[in-house]
Amino acid sequence: MLNYIGHRVLQLIPLLIAITIITFITIKLPPGDFLTTYIQQLKLSGNAVSQSQILSLQHLYGLDQPAYMQYLDWMKNILTKGDLGYSFGWNEPVSQVIGERLGLTMLISILTLIFVWVVSIPIGIYSATHQYSILDYIITFIGFIGLAVPGFLLALVLVYVVFVHTGVAITGLFSGHYQDAVWSMGKFLNMMSRIWLPVIIIGMSGTAGLIRVMRGMLLDELQKQYVITARAKGVKERKLLFKYPVRMAINPLISTIGWTLPAIISGEAIVSIVLNLPTTGPILLKALMTQDMYLAGSFVLILSVLTVIGTLLSDILLAWVDPRIRFGGVQE
Amino acid sequence: MKKFLKTAIATIFLASMALTGCGGGTTPASTTAKSTTTDTTKVTSTGYSQAPSLDGKGLPPVKDRLPVQPKLVNEEPSDLLNYTIGTYGGTLRTVTSTPNWDADVFVMDNEPLLNTPGILGSQITGNILQGYKVSPDQKTFTFTMRKGLKWSDGQPVTVQDVKFAFDDVLFNKELTPVFPAWLRSGGKVDGQPLKFDVINDYTFQISFSEPYGGFPILLSIKGWVGYTDLLKPFHFLKQYHKKYADPVVLAQEIKKAGFKKGDWVKLFQTKDVLNWDLPNPKAIGFPVLYPWMLVKKTATTEYFDRNPYYFKVDSAGNQLPYIDNIQSSMVQSMDMEVMSVLAGNVDFQRQDAALNKMPLYKENESHGYKAIMSKLHVTPTDIFLNETYKDPVWRKVVQDVRFRQALSLAMNRKDIINDIYYGFADPGIIENPAFNLDEANKLLDDMGMKKGPDGYRVGPDGKKFVIPFEVAAIAPDVVPLTELVMAQWRSLGLDVTMKTIDPTLWGTRNAANQLRATVGWVHTQLWYMGDWGQGYWGPLWNEWYTTGGKQGEKPPADVEKLYNLINQVSVSSPDEAQKAIEQVHQELGKNLWFFVPIENVKQPVIVNAKLGNVTDKGYAIGLNFSAEELYYKK
Amino acid sequence: MNVVLNRKALPVETDQQVVYEVASQWQLMWWKFKKHKMALIAAIVLLIMYLMAGFCEFISPDVPQQRFTEYVYAPPQPIHFADKNGFSLRPFVYDMKEKIDTKTFQNHFFEDTSKKYPIYFFVKGETYKFWGLFNTDIHLFGLKDPNKPLFLMGTDQLGRDLFSRALYGGRISLSFGFIGIFLTLFFGLILGGISGYFGGVVDTIVQRMIDLLISIPTIPLWMALAAALPRDWSAVKIYFGMIIILSALGWTGLARVVRGMLLSLREEDFTVAARLAGASDWRIITKHLLPSMASYIIVSLTLAIPGTILGETALSFLGLGLQPPVVSWGVLLQDAQNLETLAFHSWLLWPAAFIVVTVLMFNFLGDGLRDAADPYK
C-alpha cells in the first residue's frame, strides 16, 4: 500500500503542471478578455474611455503581455510567494476574495452533505428492503422531488413566499446589521435561523441521486448468496443489512467521495446566486464568465489539487473497504 | 416635443445670461428670502453652517473648510425642482449586483469641473472651477479656480494640482502613451494637442490651434467626465511619480506593491483614483472632491462618509451634502435587488429600476419608499443594420434608403410602446413614425425584391434575403423588442432571424464589424454626447473618421456629411450647437441611418418616501446627479 | 425412522411455474418491471409526453411566435361546460376583457360572458409545417376563429399562448436529453471498463486522464464553443454541437465508478472461472462484468437524461444555453424566474411543472428498469 501511495504522489507533480496549463488555456479561450468586458460595461453606461486609458489598463493588468508570459508570472508568484494573484473584478488579492468566503462555504457545504446523507441513506435502504410498498413510493417521491424542481426556481419562490407572508426579505445569510458585524452569539443565531433554507434547497437536489444509487446497489447485494446464507444461519436482519451489504453498496459512493472535497470548497453556485449567499461558488462562476484570469485560475487550481488528493483518498478507501481489490494488473 | 425643447432652451438661456454670464459664481449677500419660495440664486445668510455629525471632530471651522466663494448648488434647474432648504442627517442606502460598481453611487458622487444643471446641456456654470472665459475666436479658454478649495484631507487645491495633471501625467509619455483625442484641437485624433499655461495660483489657460467651442460642455458632462483627468492631488501622488519621488522610497514602494523593478508607471496607476474608480477599494484615503468618500469596504457593503471639505452650499449657507452617509450593498442577482427594494431597504435606485417591475414597486410602497416616474435619458432600443458589413449583396440592399424606409414603415410603434413599455413612451419623431404596410411592401417591390416561391423576398442575387439579428441581453427590453420587430418585419416577407448571444461576445463581434443587425441604446436625447450609434450602423466608416483615415473604410458623402455635422456639434458652443443638432435630426430623418422607434421613455426611480428635493421632472439621471441636494425630512 | 418419499408431498410444478421457467429473458424483464407500479405509471406518462412533443405542431392550438396583441399577460382561461342555458357537451371559453389599473399599474382580465367560443376538434388554424415535410393548418383542437383567445395556460409578455410554447419547448428539451448521454455512456463504459479490468499501467494512464479532464472548467469551454461554432448555424444547432462536444468530455464520472466496481468484480469467482475457461478479456468485460454493473449503469443513465434537462435550465439561467427566440423549457423558465412573474403572472411557471413531472417520471422509470434488469432476482 505504501508503495502505491508513493507512486501516486510522484505522479502528482506532472499532473498538476498539466492541469495548470490546460486550465489557463481554457479560461482564456472565450473571445476577448476581462478588459474587453470591463470597458464595454463602462462604455454602455455612457463613460468615455479613451484609447490611452485602455492601453494603460492593459498594461496595469498585464494583458499586453503574451499569454505564456502571463502564465509564467502567475505560476512564479504562486510557487515563490504563495501569491495567488490579483482579481480584476474585485480589485483585491485572490486570496482575500476566496478567504473571506471560505469558512461559510464549507459550513454550508458540510451541513448540506450531512442533510443529504441523513435523508438519502435511510430512504434508500427502506426502499430496497420494502420494495413496492406504498410507503416506499411516497418516500421516494419526496426524495425525488428535490431533484425535479430546479433549485434556483424553488429558491426564488420560497424567498418570495416568505416575504409575502412575513414581510421578512431573506436577502442573504444574515439580516440587516449582522451582515458586517463582528461574530457574536447573536450573529451566529441569526445565521442559524436562516441557513436552513439554502441547506434544504441545495440538499434536496442531491437526495434523489443518492437514494437511487443506495437502493440499486443494496438490491443487488441483498440477492447475493452470502446474504441468503447469513439469513439461513439466523443472523438478525438489521445486523445482516449493515455488516456487509451496505458496505458493498457504498462502493460507487466511495469511488467518487474524493470529489466531495473540492465540492465542499466551491459549494453550489446557482442557488447561492439566487439566495445571495456569501460563498465561493458564485465567485468562481462570475470569474469564469468574465475571464477574471487569476481569480478563476487560482481557484480552479486549488480545486484541482483537492480533486487529485481526493481521488487518491478514494482509491485508498476503496481498497480498505473491499479487501478483494488490488490495484495491480490482472493476476494470472 | 422639438418646439417645447426650443422654447425651453431659449428661456433658460436668457435666464442664465441674466444670472451668471459666462463665468463667475455667486457672492454671499444678505438679501431676504421670500417666505414661500426659496431664492436659490444667492446665498442669503451671512454665515455658513455644517452638519451636526461633524461637530466635535476637531475640524477647522466650516468657513475655513469651504472655499472663499463656495459653489451655490444648482444641479437641478429651478423649473425642474422647487428647491427647499434641507436638514442634515441620515444614511442613504443603495444596492447593486456588480462588484466594485454601483452606477447610482457613481452618478451621485461624480463631480465635473464645470456643470450643466439637469444635465440638459443648455447652460454651463462653474462647479469645481469657479468659472471660465472663452476668447472670441474660441481657441483660448481661461479658467478660474476657487480660492480656498480643499481636498478631502484638508490640503488646498491650487493650480499646482492642475499643472501636475497636465505636465506630469497627460504629457508624460509613459503614463499616457496616446494623447487623448478630446484634448486635441478640433477634437480630432490627429489634431494638435492643447497648450497649457499657468496664469497665477488660481488661474490657468488652455489653448487650441482651432476653434473648440464645445470644450466647456466636454468638461461638464460628456461621458460623465469628472475632474480626475485634469485635476489630481499633487501632494498625494507626487510620492509615486518618478519626477518627484525619492528614488529609494519609490523603489521600496514598487517592491512592496509586487511590481517589476522600475515599473513606477504601474505603481502610479494603482494609486491614482480615476473617475470610475471611486467605488474601488484603492479610493479609501485618497484625497477627493466628491460629496461622499469611500471609507470602508467589506465583502458585501461599501460605506461612504460625507466629505468635510465639500465645496457646495445651499442658499441658506448650509454646507452640503445634507445626507451623512451612503451605504452601497452588493447582492448577487437582479431579483435580490428587487427584493431589497420591496422590503424597504433601498433609499435610492435609478439604474436598475425597471418599468416592468412597476406593479411590484407600487404594491409594496407601504414599506417606506415611493416609485416615481421620471424620464429616461437614452432611447433604449434603437435598431441598427450594419451598412459596412463585408457582403456586397447585403450592402446593396441595406445601403438603399428605400429598404430602410420600408422597414421603418413596417414598425408599429404603438405595439412597441404598449407591449414593451406599457404605454410609457412616445413614438420617435426624429424619424417619421408612420405605420403603413402597403407602402412598405410597395417600396420593396420597387427595389426588385420579389417574393420567391417560399414566400420570402429575394435579394439582388436571387437568393432569399436574410436579416439576422444578433443581440445581447444588456437590458430587459432588448430581447422582447427584437422578437417584436422580427415579427413585424417578417410580415413584409423578409426572412428575419434572431439570436441572443453573450454580451462580451456581442461587443467583440460588433467591434470586428461582424454583426449585421442588432439592437442597442443611444444617447439620442442628450445632444452633447455626440452618440448617434455610429459604432453600430457603420463601424468601418466610423473607424475611418475617428482614426483620421488610417483604418476602416471611407464613408459615402452623405455619411461623411453627418459625421462632420456631429463633429461640428462637439466643437461649437451650446447655442451654436443647437443649429447643428437640428441638421443632424434632419439628416437622420431623411436617411434613416438607424431606427429610433420611440422616445421619451419613462424611467422609474425608487426613493425613500421621506426624501426631500426629489423631482420627477427632467431626467431620472439628472435627479441622480443632484444627490447632494437630497435630504431626509424630519 | 424411515423417510418415506411421499410423492404427494413433492412440490408439483404448477402451470404458472412452468411458464415462468420457460419464459424468455425479455418476458421476465417485463414481468419484473410490471411489479413496480410507479414505474409503469411513469412509463405511460413519459410516453404521452414524448408523443405530445412529437406531435406538438398538431396538438397546439397556436404556433409559438403568434402574438395576440390584445391579450398580453392573460391568465389561463377556465373551460366551461355549462352556462345559464344549461349543460353542453362541447366545452367553451368566454372572451376576456382587460382592465388596467393606472394606480397600481396592474392589469386584470375579466371573463366577458357575452362572447362565447366553443372549442372544436380538428379545426383550421395557423399554417405550419408538419415535421418539416408538408404544410397543413389542421390543429387537434381550437376555436373556429383562430384570432380569438384560447389560452389553456395563459399568455406571456408578447401575448403568446403558453400552452403551445410549452409543447414546442418540450420537443427540444426532451430530445436533447437523449443526445448527450450516448457519448458519455460509450466512453464511460469503455474507458472505465478497461481501466478497472486491466489495472496497472493502463489504469494509471486513464485515471490521470480523468483527473486532468475533470479539472477543466466547463463554463469557459461553453462560452468559447458558443463563439467558435459557425455563425450561420442556428441557435439550436449550435446548442446541439455544444452538447455533443461536452458529452465527449463528460464521461469521467461514469468511468470512475465503473472502474471501481470492476476492480472488485474481477476478483469474483465467476470472473476467475471465465478466465480459466479461456474466455477473452473482451468477452469477459462485455458479457460477464458489465451486466453485473447493469443496475448502476441504468440508474446512472436514467439520472443523466433528466440531468440534461435540468442542466439546460441552469445554462439558460446563466445566459449560456438556449436563449430566445428559441423555445425550450429552459428558455420559458427564464420568463418565470423573476419576482414580477411570481407575484402577478404565476401561470408562466407551467413549464416548471412539465420539467418536474418529466424528471420525476424518469427517476421512477429508472428504478423500474433497474429492477427489471436485475440479474440477481
| Predicted confidence (pLDDT) per residue in A229-242, tens digit | 877 888 777 777 77
Mean pLDDT within A131-136: 81
How far is Cα A293 from Cα A283, in angstroms, rounded to an integer?
A: 12
Which range, of A11-25, B460-474, B479-493, averages the lowest pLDDT?
A11-25
How far is Cα B524 from Cα B380, in angstroms, rounded to an integer?
A: 9
Residues of chain B neighbouring C340 (CB-CB closer than 8 A): 356-357, 359-360
Cβ neighbours of residue A190 closer than 8 Å, sequence gap 6 or more? A174, A175, A178
- The β-bridge partners of B370 are B607
Whether B104 maps to a domain, the answer reads: no
What was the pLDDT predicted at B36?
35
Contact C158 B486 (CB under 8 A): no
Q: Which residue has the higher pLDDT, A65 or B20?
A: A65
Q: Are residues B19 and B118 in the same domain?
A: no
Q: In which band, very low, low, confident or very high, does the pLDDT at C75 lie, cut at 50, 70 and 90?
A: very high
Evaluate whether A22 touches C216 at the Cβ level (below 8 Å). yes
| Sign of the dihedral through C-alpha B389, B394, B398, B399 | positive
What was the pLDDT predicted at A15?
87
Contact C317 A152 (CB under 8 A): yes
A276 vs B: CB within 8 A:
yes
Q: Which residue has the higher pLDDT, C178 or B57?
A: B57
Which range, of B112-116, B441-445, C110-114, averages the lowest pLDDT?
C110-114
Contact A169 B222 (CB under 8 A): no
Grid coordinates 436529453 are at which residue?
C177
Q: Give A293 to chain C, closest Cα distance, Å.
A: 11
Asked if the model's pLDDT at residue B112 lies above 70, the reply is yes
Q: Are residues B25 and B92 in the same domain?
A: yes
CA C249 vs CA A229, B611, C57: distances in Å: 43, 56, 34
What was the pLDDT predicted at B553?
92
What was the pLDDT predicted at B16?
39
Whether B538 maps to a domain, the answer reads: yes
Contact B483 C227 (CB under 8 A): no
Exposed, middle or buried by CB within 10 Å (0-12, 13-18, 19+), for B409? buried
Cβ neighbours of residue A273 closer than 8 Å, sequence gap 6 or more? A152, A281, A282, A285, B332, B333
How far is Cα A131 from Cα A114, in angstroms, rounded to an integer?
A: 25
Length of chain A: 332
Task: Please name the chains neighbouring A, where neighbouring means 3+ C-beta pairs under 8 angstroms.
Answer: B, C
Which of 428-487 (B) contact A at CB < 8 A? Answer: 474
Which range, of B143-147, B564-568, C106-110, C241-245, averages the lowest pLDDT?
C241-245
User: Which residue of chain A has the CA closest to C271?
Assistant: A330
Q: Give A210 to chain C, closest Cα distance, Å.
A: 10
Q: Give B20 to chain C, closest Cα distance, Å.
A: 42
Q: Are residues B347 and B212 in the same domain?
A: no
Whether B304 maps to a domain, the answer reads: yes
Evaluate whether C204 touches A8 at the Cβ level (below 8 Å). no
Mean pLDDT within B303-320: 94
Q: Give C58 to chain A, closest Cα distance, Å.
A: 28
Mean pLDDT within B449-453: 88
Which range, of B566-575, B603-612, B621-630, C259-268, averages the lowest pLDDT?
C259-268
Contact B181 A100 (CB under 8 A): no
Q: Are residues B311 and B353 in the same domain?
A: yes
B473 vs C: CB within 8 A:
yes
What was the pLDDT predicted at C215?
80
Residues of chain B neighbouring C63 (CB-CB closer than 8 A): none
Nearest to C340 among B357, B502, B514 (CB): B357
pTM for the full predicted model: 0.87
Residues of chain C neighbouring B354 (CB-CB closer than 8 A): none
Grid coordinates 410603434 are at which residue?
B413
What was the pLDDT predicted at C104?
85
Grid coordinates 465508478 are at which residue?
C257
Q: Are residues B527 and B565 in the same domain?
A: yes
How far is Cα C66 from Cα C155, in angstroms, rounded to an integer?
A: 11
Residue-wise pLDDT tens digits, A295-331: 999 998 888 888 888 888 887 877 777 666 666 555 4
User: Which residue of chain B has the CA closest to C319?
Assistant: B502
What was the pLDDT predicted at B35?
32
Q: Beta-carbon neighbour count of residue A59 at 10 Å?
A: 18
Nearest to A169 among B222, B339, B529 (CB): B339
Q: C64 is written with which cell numbers?
A: 409559438
Mean pLDDT within C196-223: 83
Q: Which residue has the higher pLDDT, B562 or C81?
A: B562
Q: Are residues B195 and B91 in the same domain?
A: no
Whether B160 maps to a domain, the answer reads: yes
Chain pair A-B, CB pairs under 8 angstroms = 124
Look up the ipTM and state it: 0.85
Contact C69 B514 (CB under 8 A): no
Q: Give B330 to chain A, closest Cα distance, Å.
A: 9
Evaluate whether A206 touches A119 at the Cβ level (below 8 Å). no
Q: In which band, very low, low, confident or very high, does the pLDDT at C249 lie, cut at 50, 70 and 90?
A: confident
How far is Cα B544 from Cα C350, in angstroms, rounded to an integer?
A: 52
Contact C216 A26 (CB under 8 A): yes
Residues of chain B neighbouring C344 (CB-CB closer than 8 A): 359-360
Mean pLDDT within C115-129: 84
Contact B419 C69 (CB under 8 A): yes
Residue-wise pLDDT tens digits, C16-62: 666 666 666 667 778 778 888 888 899 999 999 999 998 988 888 88
In the sheet that holds C134-143, the strands lie side by side as: C80-83, C86-101, C106-130, C134-143
Which range, of A114-118, A236-240, C272-276, averages the lowest pLDDT?
A236-240
Q: Give A43 to chain B, closest Cα distance, Å.
A: 9
User: Which residue of chain C has the CA closest to A18?
Assistant: C212
Nearest to B99 among A31, A47, A89 (CB): A89
Q: Are residues B466 and B492 in the same domain?
A: yes
Q: Are residues B413 and B521 in the same domain?
A: yes
Residues of chain C neighbouring A329 (CB-CB closer than 8 A): 198-201
User: What CATH homologous superfamily does A94-252+262-280 map to?
Assistant: MetI-like (1.10.3720.10)
pLDDT, chain B, mean: 88
Which residues constitute the domain of residue B13? 2-98+278-376+603-632
How far is Cα B138 from Cα B568, in angstroms, rounded to an integer?
A: 13
Nearest to C267 among A27, A324, A329 (CB): A324
Q: In which band, very low, low, confident or very high, does the pLDDT at A132 lie, cut at 50, 70 and 90?
A: confident
Contact A100 B258 (CB under 8 A): no
Contact A256 C220 (CB under 8 A): no
Q: Are residues B547 and B578 in the same domain?
A: yes
Q: In which band, very low, low, confident or very high, does the pLDDT at A227 lie, cut at 50, 70 and 90?
A: confident
Whether B562 maps to a domain, the answer reads: yes
What was the pLDDT predicted at B616?
92
Q: Are residues B583 and B621 in the same domain?
A: no
B511 vs C: CB within 8 A:
no
Contact B265 A48 (CB under 8 A): no
- How many structural domains are present in chain B? 3
Residues of chain B neighbouring A286 (CB-CB closer than 8 A): 99
List the single best residue of A149, A274, A301, A312 to mutate versus C (max C Cβ within 10 A). Answer: A149
pLDDT, chain A, mean: 83
Contact C299 A213 (CB under 8 A): yes
How far is Cα B583 from Cα B566, in angstroms, rounded to an integer?
A: 9
CA B405 vs CA B127, B465, C7: distances in Å: 45, 17, 101
User: CATH number of the domain that B584 lies in?
Assistant: 3.10.105.10
A154 vs B: CB within 8 A:
no
Contact B182 A37 (CB under 8 A): no
Q: Identify the three-state secondary structure at position B354.
A: coil
User: CATH number of the domain that B353 lies in?
Assistant: 3.40.190.10
Chain pair A-C, CB pairs under 8 angstroms = 197
Whether B271 maps to a domain, the answer reads: no
Residue-wise pLDDT tens digits, C318-346: 888 888 888 999 999 988 899 999 999 99
Of B176, B206, B232, the last residue of a domain is B232
Residues of chain B neighbouring A155 (CB-CB closer than 8 A): none
Q: Give A50 to chain C, closest Cα distance, Å.
A: 27
B180 vs A: CB within 8 A:
yes
Q: In which band, very low, low, confident or very high, does the pLDDT at C220 lie, cut at 50, 70 and 90?
A: confident
Residue-wise pLDDT tens digits, B532-575: 999 999 999 999 988 888 889 999 999 999 999 998 888 888 88
Q: In which band, very low, low, confident or very high, does the pLDDT at B28 lie, cut at 50, 70 and 90?
A: very low
Asked if the model's pLDDT at residue C3 lies above 80, the reply is no
Residues of chain C neighbouring A296 (CB-CB closer than 8 A): 217, 220
Task: Please name the chains neighbouring B, where neighbouring means 3+ C-beta pairs under 8 angstroms.
Answer: A, C
List the single best residue of B337, B338, B360, B420 to mutate versus C (max C Cβ within 10 A). Answer: B360
User: Which residue of chain B has the CA closest to A273?
Assistant: B332
Contact A273 B333 (CB under 8 A): yes
Q: Give A36 to chain B, closest Cα distance, Å.
A: 7
List the single best residue of C263, C308, C313, C345 to mutate versus A (max A Cβ within 10 A). Answer: C263
Of B203, B232, B261, the last residue of a domain is B232
Length of chain B: 634
DSSP string, B433-467: ----HHHHHHHHHHTT--B-TTS-BB-TTSSBPEE
Of B201, B232, B263, the last residue of a domain is B232
Contact C200 A328 (CB under 8 A): yes
What was the pLDDT predicted at C18?
62
Contact B345 A169 (CB under 8 A): yes
Q: Are residues B384 and B502 in the same domain?
A: yes
Which range, of A124-128, B26-30, B256-260, B286-290, averages the lowest pLDDT?
B26-30
Whether B105 maps to a domain, the answer reads: no
Nearest to B415 among C69, C338, C344 (CB): C69
DSSP string, C186-230: HHHHHHHHHHHHH-HHHHHHHHHHHHHHHHS-HHHHHHHHHHHS-
What was the pLDDT predicted at A325?
65
Which of 558-577 (B) contact A at CB < 8 A? Answer: none
Q: Are residues B326 and B412 in the same domain?
A: no
Whether B431 maps to a domain, the answer reads: yes
